[in-house]
Structure 1
């Protein structure tokens, strides 16, 4: 919502500055008759017209910025097929990798990050494990699950799956009280 308001304010600002600078250019160039004469000479007119032209060019740039669509906010992986273009958001790929890693028993508190390289997707998984399973077997299973699931689901080659074990989860210890 704030972004829409910012764009609206930029649109109004650029439009008003543009109109004022055009009026100033027309008045100073003599296209519109003036009622008051400035007697300081032609140097003042040249400086004023130059400033008005600069303001007009800035207002055109701001107007363009306020009207264009912002594509940088939606990062995605783009593919071309025989039927047309496909765009898969990075958020979708992150969620797919989290879904695949979550199927591995003993993994908790998952986070993922995706990078796109020439070789394909590079997926980084951060996890907390329960500590009851072998870490090499657990991480290998996470890598295999994420690699296969993401590549099969999206059709995008997965170059690398890195797993970072952040910590062991502390299982609650219940002490029995005998009275």
Structure 2
């Protein structure tokens, strides 16, 4: 909810600042009549209570939005890498998502016939959701190879991390062609 509010504030803030920048550019290029600009400034600072109140409210809102963005920019600078947190009887355990991805890649690479691997991990209520993207050599059955990879990844990640794996999705991106080697013949 706070992120949505921050995005909305950033949108409004950028529109206001953009509009103010356009006014400054036009004024610097002498696009306003001096008498009209002076009258507008007199309305803001003069006897019109409604204009003064509106100006103070708008300026205060812009100031508050600026302070909010300043605080958010400072507080988000100390974020840590995404991790999976577990509580045990001895204390807390934090395992980075990158560690789980590397464990999944290591387990998937043990499957024969797999060439190039990439892994993504999502943390869900039911457990880890692991997505493996792979290239295969084309010498093995893709369904058999995929099932073996799913089983191996699921078992190894659960064994090493202690976190249940709810799903292992395998996407076979392509078949890799091995470059044939030719022997040269000397006569």
TM-score (ref. length: structure 1): 0.66
Gaps of 5+ in 1: 1-37
Q: In the aligned structure 2, how far is the partner of 1:134 from the partner of 1:43? A: 77
Give the paired residue count.
142
Gaps of 5+ in 2: 1-44
Root mean square deviation, CA, Å: 2.5
Of residues 65, 69, 80, the one that matches 2:87 is 80
Q: Which residue of 2 aligns with 1:141?
A: 148
Q: In the aligned structure 1, how far is the partner of 2:91 from the partner of 2:113? A: 41
* Cα pair distance change 1:117/1:40, threshold 3 Å: same
More helix by share: 2
* CA drift at 1:156: 0.4
TM-score (ref. length: structure 2): 0.64
Q: In the aligned structure 2, how far is the partner of 1:144 from the partner of 1:50? A: 62
Pairs within 5 Å for 1:54-93: 54-69=61-76, 74-93=81-100
Structure having greater relative contact order (Cα 8 Å, sep ≥ 6): 1
Deviations 1:96-139 (A, max 9, x none): 10011112222110011222222211212111112223334322
Pairs within 5 Å for 1:80-159: 80-159=87-166
Deviations 1:43-88 (A, max 9, x none): 4432333233223322331232132135777333222222333332
